[in-house]
Amino acid sequence: MQYIASAPDGTKMPFTISEVRDEDIVIDFNHPLAGKDLTFDVELLNVRDATSEEISHGHVHGVGGQNH
């Protein structure tokens, strides 16, 4: 069963209780799929040339320009 903890900034952090000892509880904050092999089927729908801004920054930007 997963539980939710709140970080000081309000971020929700899911966790699982993985072990209960005498006076200790071991909790796991890893994503449930951590360590698993994942396989994805991908369909490429569109290809476009990089903008000059993307080339100068060395990475792709989202719709509408830089988004970071």
Our measurement of the distance from residue 48's CA atom to the centroid of its chain's CA atoms, rounded to an integer in Å, reads 26
Q: Which domains does the chain have, with CATH numbers?
A: 2-57 (2.40.10)
Q: Quick one: pLDDT at residue 11?
A: 94
62: pLDDT strictly greater than 90: no
Nearest to 29 by CA among 53, 13, 48, 45: 13
- The per-residue pLDDT for range 11-56, each reduced to its tens digit, is 999 999 999 999 999 999 998 899 999 999 999 999 999 989 889 9
The whole-angstrom separation of Cα 63 and Cα 21 is 50
The whole-angstrom separation of Cα 21 and Cα 19 is 6
